[in-house]
A and B are shown apart, each in its own frame.
Chain A
Amino acid sequence: MSLDIASSQASAPRNAPPKMTGDKVCVFYGAKQALFDVDLKVEQYSVTSLIGPSGCGKSTFLRSLNRMNDTIDGCRVTGKISLDTDDIYDPSIDVVELRARVGMVFQKPNPFPKSIYENVAYGPRIHGLARTKSDTDEIVHSSLRRAGLWNEVKDRLNEPGTGLSGGQQQRLCIARAIATRPEVLLMDEPCSALDPIATAVIEELIDELRENFTIVIVTHSMQQAARVSQKTAFFHLGKLIEEGKTEDIFTNPKNKQTQDYITGRIG
């Protein structure tokens, strides 16, 4: 990314409605409340990073954006989360379809124990996006290309995905996630298991992907949040403490807790 100061923040058109909106979101695991009244807007075609110490609720919030929390027993969500204008916790919402619209990439690369090709083809096939072999080929090619993996795997599409390096596996998972043409991509510490070079490749990829996708990323690396995101939200003890333009959060945070956290001070 070039250091274009004037336009580095300009991606979504000005005043465009947020892609996702959290409105007084509370999440409970049984009796324990993990998130308290979180209000957060996720802008379209931009990267929003969620930062905060372990157990602060950032991953909980991320998972509630595509109802991954539904799979956890005793988890309850109150408040409202919208994708465009749809309330994603509305009973009429098809969760499988929601997760096709809001894809996810996890911390540890988790390719299916299948071929590279099948890893990417699986999603579009079950969602009915690809009816013929050539449709599927096209989606697999373009997804791998977008994920920056095509040149490395084009000659071995039938080899198992688990045989790739860690960084390649993670890009395969990103290719798999974007194959269903999601509108939003959630990433839960996508680089924490990768070396610096593989991390740089993923970060470059995130920067390219935001042209077509809205991205929300949870990261423990503040430098990474500072590098890849346009907006940063800081969570602490289940509360959203501060959110704002990334450059403001990292040069001049308004809140003392944010300052203590990002500068590595005893809070």
Chain B
Amino acid sequence: MPTSLNEHIVSSYEDELTGLNKAISEMAGMVEQAITESANALLKLDLTLAQTVRDYDKRIDDMQQRINDAAVSIIARRQPMAADLRMVVTAIQVANDLERTGDMAKQLAKRTQQIENLGLAPKFYTGMRHMTDLVAEQLKAGIDAYLARDGKAAIAVCNRDNEVDALHTSLFRELLTYMMEDPRNITQCTHLLFCAKSLERVGDHATNIAEAAYYLETGLHLSADAQQRAPR
């Protein structure tokens, strides 16, 4: 497939596609920030930060709406083809995944506000910290692969999702152990279980974004068997 792209003859079309890409990049930055801040709020039980994240979600939703409107308008007026068509279609997909990721950040922030008074023991957080770090990395890598149209980096992101899943499973076991040790832990640990689930979902959205990146670059779908065949 062609890799480098020349400029369009119609410069306003070129500007619109550049603008769409820029909007995705901007939205991605907002969502990354929301995830990082919600993780910080959770780990430090920072209520103010949690509230900031919750308020911020509206802006992320608005951004998705703007991207969708721009994409629909380009389809209606320009009838994009080939790489342009893939760019516009994946922009809609990626904006959707980013918006869902933003919702997950909001969920984490809400949970943080609920568990603030429970006085969590620091040991509960070790696994959670790992998970937030890994998920934030995955999200960043997925977004970078998309913005750079880098299929290889996209494969790497998809392959690493197993790590997120494994960490989620082990975190589940760990929290279950605390609950069995002392039933007074149950409320806190249940909250953390939901947080872990939200983070695991963020990992899935990161994978979706990486798959969109692969399709954007190659025009092919990154099927499960292609991921397995790819070098780890």
Contacts and interface: CB of A to CB of B under 8 A. Distances in A.
Interface of A: 222-223, 226, 250-256, 258-260, 262-267
B206 to A, nearest CB: 24
Nearest to B10: A264
Contact of B85 (A250, A254, A260, A266): A250
Instruction: Tell me which of B6, B79, B81 has the highest count of chain A C-beta atoms within 10 A of its own C-beta.
Output: B81
Given A253-B2, A255-B2, A256-B2, A263 B84 contact: yes
Contacts of B118: none
Contacts of A265: 5-9
12 contacts: A251-B81, A252-B1, A252-B220, A254-B2, A258-B82, A260-B6, A262-B82, A263-B8, A263-B80, A263-B82, A264-B13, A266-B7
SS of A interface (majority):
helix
B86 interface: yes
A262 to B, nearest CB: 4
Nearest to B218: A252
Interface residues of B, number: 21
B6 A267 contact: yes
B19 interface: no
B41 to A, nearest CB: 42
B86 A251 contact: yes
B219 interface: yes
Contacts of B8: 263-266
B83 interface: yes
A256 B6 CA distance: 10
Interface string B98-129: 00000000000000000000000000000000
A49 to B, nearest CB: 14
Contacts of A260: 2, 6
Instruction: Tell me which of B5, B13, B83, B218 has the highest count of chain A C-beta atoms within 10 A of its own C-beta.
Output: B83
A262 B81 contact: yes
Contacts of A255: 2
Interface in B1-27: 1-2, 4-10, 13
